[in-house]
Structure 1
Amino acid sequence: MNQILSADRTLDATGLSCPEPVMMLHQHVRDLPAGGLLEVIATDPSTRRDIPKFCVFLGHELVQQDEEGGTYRYWIRKKSD
């Protein structure tokens, strides 16, 4: 069971297709303070692959992810500088 996380900001990328969610994610993470938590809501199944890769590549922490009824949610903690 997933814990309830309180995000500093939320990115709603529902209805958008690759590569838009990840492009928007990149901008939103850039605007967060170090250690900030961003919740991403998406409907594109490719985000299940793309968002974890984004986090690994840039060093951010994918704290949690889940899927319910075709909606994918990700909680990403921005790396400390």
Structure 2
Amino acid sequence: MKDTQNERTRTRLKANEFAVLDAKGLYCPEPVMLLHNKVRDLPGGSLLKVLATDPSTRRDIPKFCVFLGHELIEATQDDTLYTYVIKKKPDG
């Protein structure tokens, strides 16, 4: 797997910035599959905001975080929109 300094710099986020995954309109298992891919591409400690409309994400995303060691910082629901903020576990 190629890992250059430019690739790492390109994906690095400032502490107060979020990467965003828009999974609205997708249904199980797609939101979690996309989440897995997105988290893998982020540096450790990054914040990721996930937007979803599938009610099963209320169960699946917290379990995903526990299983893989990421921190679920926030989980909110506004009508049919589910929003999650996840902090990726440190690299290494």
Q: Please state how far the C-alpha of 1:23 moved relative to its aligned partner.
A: 0.0
Which of 69, 76, 81 is matched with 2:79 structurally? 69
Q: How many residues align?
A: 76
Overall identity of the aligned pairs, in %: 64
- 1:20 equivalent in structure 2: 30
TM-score by length of 1: 0.91
CA apart distance, 1:59: 0.1
Deviations 1:44-76 (A, max 9, x none): 000000000000000000000100011000000
TM-score by length of 2: 0.80
- The aligned amino acid for 1:58 is L
Q: Which of 42, 48, 53 in structure 2 is aligned with 1:38?
A: 48
Structure 1 runs (4+) greater than 2 angstroms displaced: none
Q: Cα RMSD between the aligned structures?
A: 0.9
| Counterpart contact for 1:37–1:76, Cα < 8 Å | yes
Give the helix-richer structure, 1 or 2: 2
Structure 2 residue 89 is matched with structure 1 residue 79? yes
Which runs of no fewer than 5 residues in structure 1 stay unpaired? 1-5
Query: Could you list the runs of 5+ residues in structure 2 that have no partner in the other structure?
Result: 1-15
